[in-house]
Structure 1
Amino acid sequence: MSTVALANPKTKFSLTEDWTVVVLGLLSIVLSLNGLIIPAPVFGWTDASSLFSNVFTAKNGLLIAGQFAFTYVIALIGTGLIAGKSVRATLLGFPVVFGLTLLALILAGNKTLKDLNLEAVIFSLGIGLAVGNLFRLPDWLRSSLSTELFVKIGLILLGTSVIFGDILKAGSLGLIQALAVVISVWYFAFWVSKRLKVDDELTMMLASAVSICGVSAAIATSGAIQGDSKKLSYVISLVLITAIPMMLVMPYAAHAMGLSPAVTGAWLGGTIDTSGAVVAAGTLAGEEALKISTIVKFSQNVLLGVAAFAISIYWTYTKNQTEVAQTSKPTLGVIWERFPKFVLGFLAASLLFSFVVSPATVDTVKGSLKSLQGLWFALAFTSIGLETRFSDLFNADNRRPMYAFLIAQTFNVVITLVIAYFLFR
């Protein structure tokens, strides 16, 4: 969101952008439920031969073109509805952003890189950073970057995969552990960040990323507090980088400690911050550990909407009180104006798919919506990379957030092991 919108939440731009995101996200879902299903392209490949036989085919090219056309139209509509945005810039710039994102998706589809749990967002961020730092971007391309729009549409689509009925299937122990871990680790990470004098935005993103579900939690929190996209990219980088050694080391550490498969799975699912890394680590630990780790990780994931809602209320009630006297609290009207409306879209999508849409219909559309969600996130991180300078990511000021993250993650590993041992032994 622009600096102007943050400074004055009563501006038309701020309000219009919030509701535009909700409209476009829910519109995508409604169109899908009414038969406009955008098939997911194939990006998986192992070598040059499979790259051309799986990805670079006419059929797959049409699927990619279908996703491009759909997201292009949505982006243009969004630009047209948001005051102050240039439709002409989006018309020219979006194909460039999509092309760079497509390259990232193809790289992330390589089996070797997928086995290392290198997710598409890290490639889209890296490619954006490389292009943005090596070349001088034209003004029309810079003005076409709509990170907030892309991220929040993706978050609303994410709501379709958070099914409340599945919480019961996850099991009571998984949900109890998820609640205990999320609450204890979030507050510890918050406390450590404050002690290390990390700024408020980074503190909220770090605490949510460590305690809930990594990348998705960081993105949701950033949206809820209208956070700086550069800070978000830094947190995402920390999450993805630390997930790799944890994924490789923790299964063997569990074996060395003689933990049962159930305790091992609960430990892995509660500490490793990305779902892909949890699955990889669970696979290394065995079939039962894989099952338990998936249940526990899912139990934490379903808390994302609740956490985003709570963080939104806290942030809007305590921060950015520029037009309110420092000695007074904002009124309910001011809180409503500042409240990020995408959270309502997320919850609406989750409730719709939990209690209204039939399971058969969910199975029909979930693949398409999941693919579009990932694409919107990847487009957002390409945009973040394009508008970020390396000097902003790697400087002395970023050491304290890194220390806070690592300390919180260490606490997460220890406390989750204790909780998992007593619940699952």
Structure 2
Amino acid sequence: MTAAAPPPPASASADGSAPAGSTAAGAPTGQRVPVNETDALAPEATRPGAVRWPAVAAGLVVVLALAYLTKYLDGAVPDWLADTSLARVAKSVEYPVYAIAVGLLGNLVLTATGLRERFAPAFRTEFFIKTGLVLLGVSINLSLLVTAAGPAIVQALLLISGVFLFTWWLGGRLGLDDRLRALLASAVSICGVSAAIAAAGAVRARREQLAYAASLVILFALPSIFLLPWLADVFGLSPAVAGAWIGGNIDTTAAVTAAGALAGEDALKIATIVKVTQNALIGLVAVGLTAYFAFSVERRAAPVPAAAGAAEAGAGVAEAGARRPAAVELWRRFPKFVLGFVVASIIGTIYANSVSAADNSAAQAVAANYRTWFLILAFVSIGLEFRLTALREAGWRPIVVFASATVANIVLALALAAILFRTFTV
């Protein structure tokens, strides 16, 4: 006899997705939830038919105003503190710190005035940071990475694999949702918010999971800017080893740049090469996550009613492998900005090899300026989108996972840097 398929729970729609405006049927951020929401990253206010364009325009004005304030503070604060004991700290703090702080302040004001939800559709963190990442690709000379950064490539492959697998395993042991595991593992092992966004597109994570992962990245990256250069000096590391350790461990590119600058010019060069090498591997991780979630996780999480009259007893709910998604699913869910990142890298490499150094430097400066603006807009939006409720809902487990993975990353990155860069000269 064939058992009837169980009805969907009252809190879910017929296809198993969470109802509009809900958070995966109300599940906390850190718990296992169904993984077949079809609009996971789109908040209610941004879905077709729900956008109020005057509010969006007003929200964009707010984002742009806060971005200009960030840019002003980035240049003015070091001058204000030039003759004080905080001068060195002021010079090392870069625009992401100001952008996030300004965004959080704007968040408080908009929340207090009741305008935050109306303006929320304008806080386009994903668009801003994806555009910034594509522009980042222009600065990555692929031929330089291949010919001069062999150790960086080996370190990136070993470090990403080791830290990702450790984070994924620990998240599973503590019962985290597979999507949040993917975001945390990608963020801590590759390049912070950028990798989390790539992973979010690949696994269709919910927006609050992405915001939570981004918040953890920032929370742990900021002290690393000052801690790692100090430890490198205490340990007596060479510039190459210090740079490789900083570039392989700190999650955000901006924070790596700030920490590398504190460690010295030679350390900064190596740190930058190591970090952009890890950045270039975002695409590989995104492809792997897309394939794994489409062909494994979601097939296990979405049982299919068996056909009426099935011969096997108890075949009312098909086995986990019954629903096989088409191969086109990989392409549909693959974060397309990664392709733009690769294409920009190729174009930048060709251009750098076909013009004079002066012309290439001028073009890089233009691209870097636009990239900085888009990343400022992204970090401001992160501050504006941050919700304290997401931290409360997630509980302590994701924090433990991220903190433990960060410690593992510090230790493994130092070991690899000491082995691979011990005889490396800048």
For normalisation by structure 2, the TM-score amounts to 0.70
Structure of greater Rg:
2
Cα distance between partner residues in 2 of 1:126 and 1:341: 29
Cα distance between partner residues in 2 of 1:203 and 1:364: 41
Q: Say yes or no: does 1:105 pair with 2:71.
A: yes
Change in 2 beyond 3 A, CA 1:162/1:324: farther
Query: In the alignment, which residue of structure 1 is the partner of 2:416?
Result: 419
Residue 410 of structure 1, CA deviation: 0.7
Q: Say yes or no: does 1:403 pair with 2:400.
A: yes
Cα distance between partner residues in 1 of 2:290 and 2:62: 33
Given residue 328 of structure 1, which amino acid in structure 2 is its aligned partner?
R
- Secondary structure of 2:398's aligned partner: helix
- Secondary structure of 1:269's aligned partner: helix
Question: Could you tell me which of 93, 98, 118 is aligned with 1:116?
Answer: 93
Query: In the alignment, which residue of structure 2 is the partner of 1:346?
Result: 341
Cα distance between partner residues in 2 of 1:246 and 1:362: 32
- Secondary structure of 1:403's aligned partner: helix
Q: Say yes or no: does 1:336 pair with 2:328.
A: no
Residue 176 of structure 1, CA deviation: 1.3
Query: In the alignment, which residue of structure 2 is the partner of 1:379?
Result: 377
Change in 2 beyond 3 A, CA 1:376/1:226: farther
Contact 2:201–2:334, Cα closer than 8 Å, also in 1 = no
Q: Say yes or no: does 1:206 pair with 2:204.
A: no
Q: Say yes or no: does 1:365 pair with 2:363.
A: yes
Unpaired runs of at least 5, structure 2: 1-17, 22-35, 79-88, 305-319
> Which moved further from structure 2: 196-205 or 150-159?
150-159
Change in 2 beyond 3 A, CA 1:92/1:3: farther
Q: Say yes or no: does 1:263 pair with 2:241.
A: yes
Change in 2 beyond 3 A, CA 1:323/1:398: closer
Contact 1:133–1:390, Cα closer than 8 Å, also in 2 = no
Q: Say yes or no: does 1:295 pair with 2:273.
A: yes
Cα distance between partner residues in 1 of 2:127 and 2:274: 31
Residue 311 of structure 1, CA deviation: 3.1
- Secondary structure of 2:138's aligned partner: helix
What does 1:73-152 correspond to in 2, within 5 Å? Answer: 85-109=51-75, 110-111=77-78, 112-113=89-90, 115-117=92-94, 119=96, 120-137=98-115, 140-152=118-130
Unpaired runs of at least 5, structure 1: 15-78
Query: In the alignment, which residue of structure 2 is the partner of 1:250?
Result: 228
Query: In the alignment, which residue of structure 1 is the partner of 2:317?
Result: none
Contact 1:105–1:124, Cα closer than 8 Å, also in 2 = no
Deviations 1:55-110 (A, max 9, x none): xxxxxxxxxxxxxxxxxxxxxxxx9xx88655444344322322233223333443
Q: Superposition RMSD on alpha carbons, in Å?
A: 3.6
Residue 381 of structure 1, CA deviation: 4.2
Cα distance between partner residues in 2 of 1:171 and 1:323: 44
- Secondary structure of 1:161's aligned partner: coil
Change in 2 beyond 3 A, CA 1:128/1:234: farther
Residue 332 of structure 1, CA deviation: 1.2
Query: In the alignment, which residue of structure 1 is the partner of 2:146?
Result: 168
Deviations 1:96-145 (A, max 9, x none): 32223322333344335452356254235423422343220176534444
Cα distance between partner residues in 1 of 2:217 and 2:259: 16
Percent identity between the aligned chains? Answer: 38
Deviations 1:162-188 (A, max 9, x none): 332231254211221121111111111
Contact 2:103–2:382, Cα closer than 8 Å, also in 1 = yes
Q: Larger % of helix: which?
A: 1
Change in 2 beyond 3 A, CA 1:371/1:232: farther
Cα distance between partner residues in 2 of 1:145 and 1:175: 35
Residue 412 of structure 1, CA deviation: 1.0
